[in-house]
């Protein structure tokens, strides 16, 4: 089944619309088929959103957002850490049931670049719903739960993430860091040069080769006008072929895959801070820890399945990831595909 330019344009405009705050909490767009497990996952995701999250204000984008990918660094802080409750296996459960691969695997007739763009918008929606939890104002203090006094740095265990200011790494409060990351991501999504909403003119005569949700992402096929491509190549190697890159046939720029990886890295840092500094309060105390786990498992499944996050960057939450893998919550296919 070929995709028409009209269809692709509609899909992209839908992705763009979902990047706005007023559509963060409305699951729509690509469907994963009418499987029971998929519908169960989607339905429970919807049910896990609390009503007070529906009024999220629009998130403004940062100026010159494409250049901000260089504004992040990290440094290690070696200090004794108390055992974290979220690393207890009995708490490593999710609010939704089912195989998360059904949400991560590339569906048939959807080009890989389009699918990764969709996943980024969806994962940003889920992450935002969790960040809003720590941005709630405590009526006793009049401050947000994550505030400059309680979180003077963007820390995650023994790591402190820094923001480059004037070429130098600077420790900034976690609330400021998170807001900058959110604005940077939204700026990327709304940048026509990074996430174009119109398909390239050449797409009018091209159809997408069908993919298969049961296959690995490296075997998903896309139109390659320059000639045959080794179907066993990874995303990184495919992106490195001269004049070819992930998303080219859909009009995405040559550095699209690198932008995807940069966004994934910053999303992970936000999750790392949520777990290390806010799992007990507020997530555990208001019984939202299962929702946090569900959002993170979806995120890390996509990141590992498409090889988008280096192992060294996963260190702050590696123990939790290992638990999810051992319990089979993170699909084995994602583990097998994760090589970097």
Binding residues: 146, 151, 273, 278
Contact (Cβ atoms closer than 8 angstroms) between residue 318 and residue 86: no
Distance of CA 283 to the CA centre of its chain: 20
Q: How would DSSP label each residue in 280-292?
A: IIIIITTT-HHHH
Q: Buried b / exposed e across 208-238, counting CB within 10 Å, b at 16+?
A: beebebeebbbebebeeeeeeeeeeebbbeb
In the chain the first and final C-alpha atoms are separated, in Å, by: 34
How far is the C-alpha of 294 from the C-alpha of 312, rounded, in Å?
A: 23
At 217 the three-state DSSP class reads helix
Q: Give 335's contacts (C-beta < 8 A, 6+ positions apart).
A: 304, 325
Q: Give 113's contacts (C-beta < 8 A, 6+ positions apart).
A: 222, 246, 247, 248, 249, 250, 252, 256
Annotated binding site for Zn(2+): 146, 151, 273, 278
Nearest to 129 by CA among 27, 259, 14: 27
Q: Buried b / exposed e across 143-152, counting CB within 10 Å, b at 16+?
A: eebbbeebbe
């Amino acid at each position: 089944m070929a995709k028409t330019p009209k269809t692709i344009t509609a899909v992209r405009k839908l992705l763009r619309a979902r990047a706005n705050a007023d559509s963060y909490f409305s699951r729509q767009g690509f469907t994963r088929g009418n499987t029971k497990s998929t519908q169960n996952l989607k339905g429970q995701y919807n049910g896990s959103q609390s009503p007070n999250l529906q009024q999220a204000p629009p998130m403004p984008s940062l100026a010159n957002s494409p250049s901000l990918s260089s504004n992040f660094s990290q440094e290690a802080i070696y200090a004794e850490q108390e055992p974290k409750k979220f690393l207890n296996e009995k708490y490593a459960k999710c609010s939704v049931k089912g195989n998360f691969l059904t949400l991560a695997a590339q569906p048939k007739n959807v080009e890989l670049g389009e699918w990764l763009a969709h996943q980024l918008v969806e994962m940003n929606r889920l992450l935002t719903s969790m960040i809003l939890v720590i941005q709630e104002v405590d009526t006793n203090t009049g401050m947000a739960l994550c505030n400059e006094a309680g979180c003077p740095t963007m820390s995650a265990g023994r790591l402190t993430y820094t923001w480059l200011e004037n070429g130098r790494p600077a420790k900034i409060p976690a609330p400021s860091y998170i807001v900058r990351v959110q604005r940077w991501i939204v700026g990327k999504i709304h940048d026509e040069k990074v996430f174009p909403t119109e398909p390239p003119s050449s797409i009018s005569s091209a159809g997408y080769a069908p993919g298969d949700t049961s296959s690995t992402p490296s075997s998903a096929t896309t139109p390659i006008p320059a000639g045959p491509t080794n179907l066993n190549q990874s995303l990184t190697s495919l992106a490195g072929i001269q004049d070819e890159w992930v998303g080219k046939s859909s009009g995405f720029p040559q550095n699209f895959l690198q932008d995807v990886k940069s966004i994934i890295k910053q999303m992970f840092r936000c999750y790392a801070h949520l777990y290390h500094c806010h799992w007990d309060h507020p997530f555990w105390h208001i019984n939202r820890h299962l929702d946090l786990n569900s959002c993170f498992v979806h995120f890390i499944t996509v990141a590992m399945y498409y090889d988008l996050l280096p192992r060294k960057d996963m260190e702050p939450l590696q123990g939790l990831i290992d638990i999810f893998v051992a319990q089979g919550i993170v699909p084995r296919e994602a583990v097998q595909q994760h090589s970097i």
